[in-house]
Amino acid sequence: MFTTERLTIRLWAQEERERHFDIYSRWEVSRWLGSAPRALENVDEADAVIARYRSFSDDPRYGVWAVERKDTGVVAGTVLLVPIPGGDGEVEVGWHFHPDSWGHGFATEAARGAVAKGFTDGLDTVYSLVRPDNLPSLAVCRRLGMSPLGRTDRWYGVEMEAFRLDRPGGRPSA
């Protein structure tokens, strides 16, 4: 898919189910995800989630990708660039990382790479939707230079902080 200075961003592989489960079975990760957060309960669930992630590869502009550290080969987490469900063509960038990879700048680096890919592929605007009390992810949005739009329940039916980033030279932020 793409690389950054320290990361390789690629499709999740089914044989990485144990690492995937290790990430998404943790409440400290899963509590921030989706409209009804739930930690995975068994490794077989990871297979279905990885298959769903891989289905986004049908459109090369979008994906839910594994973020692999170049120095260790360990998957640190996930970065996504996907149409927002129920949206009007809006695209979201997001990230989910294993706690052993927190605090190293991997989320910012991976998200910056995903946004750059999106702009290269023709997107004018990328959004991020973050639960209001997820302070680390709010900080990632600021480091990415995203403009805060305030709280909304427009897309997932739960209140989220919305952020927007426009392609340089694209349309101005609202």
- Residues above pLDDT 90, as percent of the chain: 78
pLDDT per residue over 110-164, tens digit each?
999 999 999 999 999 999 999 999 999 999 999 999 999 999 998 888 899 999 9
Q: Could you please state the CATH topology (level 3) that the domain comprising 2-166 is classified under.
A: Aminopeptidase (3.40.630)
Residues 72-98 have a mean pLDDT of: 93
Query: Given pLDDT bands bounded at 50, 70 and 90, which one contains residue 171?
Result: low
Q: How confident is the model over 35-46, as pLDDT tens digits? A: 778 899 999 999
The residue extents of the domains of the chain are: 2-166
Give the burial string for 14-47 (b: 16+ CB within 10 Å, else e): eebbebbbbbbbeeebbebeeeeeebbeeeebbe
Q: Kindly report the average pLDDT of the chain as a whole number.
A: 92
Using an 8 Å Cβ cutoff, are 30 and 40 in contact?
yes
Say what the pLDDT of residue 55 is: 83
In 3-state terms, what secondary structure has residue 9? strand
Q: Does residue 146 or residue 34 have the better pLDDT?
A: 146
Q: Say what the pLDDT of residue 173 is.
A: 46
pLDDT for the residue numbered 170: 63
Q: Are 12 and 66 in contact (CB under 8 A)?
A: yes
**Helices within the chain (DSSP H only):** 17-24, 27-30, 43-55, 106-120, 135-143
Query: Tokens for 153?
Result: 């329940």
Residue 43: which of 18, 65, 60, 68 has the closest Cα? 18
Element spanning 97, H or E = strand 91-97
The token pair at 59 is 């459109």
Closest CA to 131 of 156, 164, 111: 156
Res 65 pLDDT > 60? yes
Higher pLDDT, 75 or 170: 75
pLDDT of residue 60: 86
